[in-house]
A = this chain, B = another copy of it.
Amino acid sequence: MVAAASTSKPSELTVPVNKTIHAFDKASLDALLTRRFFFAPAFEIYGGVAGLYDYGPTGSALQANVLDAWRKHYIIEEDMLELDTTIMTLSEVLKTSGHVDKFADWMVKDVKTGEIFRADHLVEGVIEARLKGDKEARGVKEEEKKEEDDKKKKKKKVVKAEAVRLDDNTVAEYEYLLAQIDNYTGPQLGELIRKHKITNPATSNEVSEPVEFNLMFESNIGPTGHIKGYLRPETAQGHFVNFARLLEFNNGKVPFASAQIGKSFRNEIAPRQGLLRVREFTMAEIEHYVDPLDKRHARFDEVKNVVLTLLPKEVQSEGRTETVQKTVGEAVAQRVVDNETLGYFLGRTQLFLTKIGIDSTRLRCRQHMANEMAHYAADCWDFEIQSSYGWIECVGCADRSAYDLTVHSVRTKQPLRVQQRLESPRTVEKLECTFDAKAFGIKFKKNAAMIKETLSGLEKDKLQCIKDELAKGNSSVKCTDGKSYEITPDLVKIEPITVTEHMREFIPNVIEPSFGIGRILYSLLEHTFWAREQDAARGVLSLPALVAPIKCLIVSISQDSQLRTKIHEVSREMRKRGIASRVDDSSATIGKKYARNDELGTPFGCTVDFATIQNGTMTLRERDSTAQLIGHIADVIDVVDQLVKGSIDWEGASKVLKEYSGVQDVEA
């Protein structure tokens, strides 16, 4: 860990210290996080299980504070309807949503040892190793490719490279293959494995054909064995199945949003990367329901000047990664971002992430390319945060269109629709579908209802196209399952009618910001970690007071009993005000006590000394600068209270309290 280039005289420092100048040392951070129990492998004394972590007192407090900030930023400030729905989910619900059929990864087995690999990771790891070996054989230094590899790194399983030169065509083929690795189906991965003779790197044994492995944990509900359940892979479906009740709660009007914080589960084939890819994780999800014809947002103006760092799909499809800075207002006006509501949430999320301490220079919004987006999605942006693992998706903001509500509505025959009374009745020319129910049923069987629903719900223009095509022979309709169905004139008549409408009925579209809390927490810890020149062995976590696990340390200059009494008085007063503070009355030196709390990210420290007894004063230390102020105990507590609430900053505090430079801060 490279130490900070700060001077040893605390009071000379400016606030805040520029932390970006320090090289990041992951091993030191990892050691700190384990030693101070931010998190640790679950069931560690039993040997642990990959992908399951427990949060200790510091990690839990940090998480609770981040979630509290989230709840205030979104649920309270935007009057969202909070939900707490079950984790155990009826299989039928997830069948309808598509998870039972599609929420899977492809895996292969070593045919002799049975070791299991995620098929794409295996292919990627082996091919990357071969390319690396080729580079070594050609004498090209690895660094040159480093930046380019950044994104791939997060998925790479380390496979040892051998310096073997490949012919140029093979190199080109391999590079194309890696660029496409996310797009291959299981059978295609199988072909690649055979074609390129990919084996288990550890044993050189062949591997099996790829088979699908569903990532949901499965269980039985009740004793019969007939009711299958899955642990939810996202909280979203719990919102959608409750839509009718939520709409009623909101007096039948859109737009409104539901929000939920809770655990979700993904039974990853081979989890790695610490908190970034785990089997159980806390999510915070918002489902914002809007009129599909009006995706404006009433509070758009409040975020239109927020600056986003955007990586649009057009740039990526040219193989480039340059970002562009735009305000939310510009991005929506230029149609880079599809609509106001999506733009609004991008702006709000930028504000949230930077408020809790994410470094805005290591934050970008990457748009999904057409081939990675769910077929029903209208537009999708990921907030990616850069850490030592590369750029990692931490928040997804998707326009899920009317997909989920439509499929649940079709499956359950419950109307998940908004009815809007028109101000005055209107006469409209419409196209009406009249189905030959019997012929429809025979041809489409269980899909008949879905196809009818889709056809009836089409906008007039699209229906006119189908009508025209049917007049010439046949046509087709694309449904919510992503498939197209051929329709012929004997199945459906499409005729113009004139109707007087008093009500408008529609299925709302859903804009979904979805937060992976563990990923955000881990990124935050990396972004705020650094070390002082004077004490390189101990790190500092420059967490904002808003989320720091403990807000204020309370210590005395000596073990004197009068001073000990004082610190407990101070502690009681802080507790009464709801300031999460901690007394350290151990025999360690002041410097050591400060250093121990710098590691926990404690932003402020109060010290009582003999002047306290004489003058009733106490000093106040700021973590990042180690600057100190002094004042009467009651005034200092007042200042701490305001600093923690964010109503003043350190500069403001310096106006209320006097500068102090009497005590050496850091241990010799």
Interface positions of A (Cβ within 8 A of B): 36-37, 40, 42-46, 49-57, 59-61, 63-64, 71-72, 76-77, 79, 81-90, 92-93, 107, 114, 116, 213, 217-224, 227, 229, 231, 238, 241-242, 244-246, 248-249, 251, 258, 262-263, 265, 267-270, 279-280, 282, 408, 412, 414, 575, 578, 580, 582, 586
- Are A43 and B90 touching (Cβ within 8 A)? yes
Q: Knowing A116-B224, A575-B77, say if A60 contacts B83 (CB, 8 Å).
A: yes
Q: Are A412 and B45 closer than 8 Å at their CB atoms?
A: yes
CB-nearest residue of chain B to A271:
B222
Whether A49 lies near B227 (C-beta < 8 A) is yes
Chain B residues closer than 8 Å to A63, beta-carbon distance:
84
B56 and A249 contact, CB distance less than 8 A: yes
Inter-subunit contact B87/A280 (CB<8 Å):
yes
Contact B241 A43 (CB under 8 A): yes
Residues of B within 8 A of A270 (CB): 222
With A54-B85, A238-B54, A242-B54: A223-B107 Cβ-Cβ less than 8 Å: yes
The answer to whether B221 touches A267, judged by C-beta atoms less than 8 angstroms apart, is yes
B86 touches A53 (CB 8 A): yes
Residue in B88, B224, B282 whose CB lies within 8 Å of A217: B88
- Asked if A55 contacts B79 (CB within 8 A), the reply is no
Find A578's partner among B76, B93, B218 (CB 8 Å cutoff).
B76
16 contacts between A and B (CB under 8 A): A40-B245, A42-B90, A44-B241, A46-B92, A49-B90, A54-B85, A56-B249, A57-B81, A57-B249, A60-B82, A84-B282, A88-B217, A88-B280, A116-B222, A222-B269, A251-B586
Interface contact A231-B219, CB-CB below 8 Å: yes
Q: How many copies does the complex hold?
A: 2
Shortest A270–chain B CB gap in Å is: 8
Complex: how many Å from CA A93 to CA B47? Answer: 11
Give the complex CA separation of A35 and B45 in angstroms: 48
Instruction: Supply 8 further A-B pairs (C-beta < 8 A) apart from A46-B241, A56-B246, A88-B279.
Output: A43-B89, A56-B83, A59-B84, A60-B83, A88-B217, A116-B223, A217-B229, A221-B267
Whole-angstrom CA separation of A412 from B408 in the bound complex: 48
A241 to chain B, nearest CB (A): 5
CB of A667 to closest CB in B, whole Å: 18
Indicate which residue in B54, B81, B88 contacts A265 across the interface (CB closer than 8 Å).
B88
Q: What's the least CB distance linking A279 to chain B, in Å? A: 7
The 6 closest A-B pairs by CB, nearest first: A57-B81, A55-B84, A60-B82, A54-B85, A45-B412, A217-B219
Contact A57 B82 (CB under 8 A): yes
Bound state CA distance, A229 and B246, in angstroms? Answer: 35
Among residues of B, the one whose C-beta sits closest to the C-beta of A57 is: B81
Pair A86/B42 contact, Cβ less than 8 Å: yes
When distances are taken between beta carbons in the complex, the residues of chain B under 8 Å from A221 are 49, 52, 217, 267, 279
A36 to chain B, nearest CB (A): 8
Question: Per a CB cutoff under 8 Å, which of B55, B92, B218 touches A219?
Answer: B218
- Given contacts A40-B242, A64-B82, A575-B77, is CB(A90)–CB(B56) below 8 Å? no
What's the minimum C-beta distance from A488 to chain B, rounded to whole angstroms? Answer: 33
Chain B residues whose C-beta falls within 8 Å of the C-beta of A59 in the assembled complex: 84
